[in-house]
Amino acid sequence: MNAPTENVQIISGHDGRPAFVVIPYADYVASHPEGDLIPNEVVGMVVKEGLTLAAAWRRHLGLTQADIAQRIGISQSAYAQQESARKPRKATREKIAAALGISPLQLEE
């Protein structure tokens, strides 16, 4: 990463050796490919509630299964099956991601 040194904070461990580096959030985001970040709330729903990434993203965005199904052009029950899949096919991930307005990378577990 090419963050300017004046924006970097080094935190030492108990032994005095560098343990962590803190950089401004904007620099962190700029150093990652577009579309690969996942909000903490989404991760929390996956970990704490056992939701799939698609379900967590949908809830995070305040959408219903019917909303996403309509955007994709399928029934709500068909979407519910797709949303519950732990490892949906690439084409399915791409359709769901487009309907959610996110990158397909954000649906990969």
What are the sequence ranges of the domains in the chain? 1-31, 40-107
- Per DSSP, the three-state class of 11 is strand
40-107 belongs to CATH 1.10.260.40: yes
The pLDDT assigned to 39 comes to 92
Q: Which residue has the tokens 């487009």?
A: 98
Token pair, residue 58, equals 């949908």
Helix or strand (DSSP H, E) at 8: none
| Average pLDDT score over residue span 91-100 | 96
Residue 35 has pLDDT above 60, yes or no: no
Distance, CA of 34 to CA of 32 (rounded, Å): 6
Residue 42's Cβ-count burial label (10 Å; 0-12, 13-18, 19+) is buried
| pLDDT for res 50 | 95
Nearby residues of 29 by Cβ (< 8 Å), 6 or more positions away: 37
Q: What is the pTM of this model?
A: 0.70
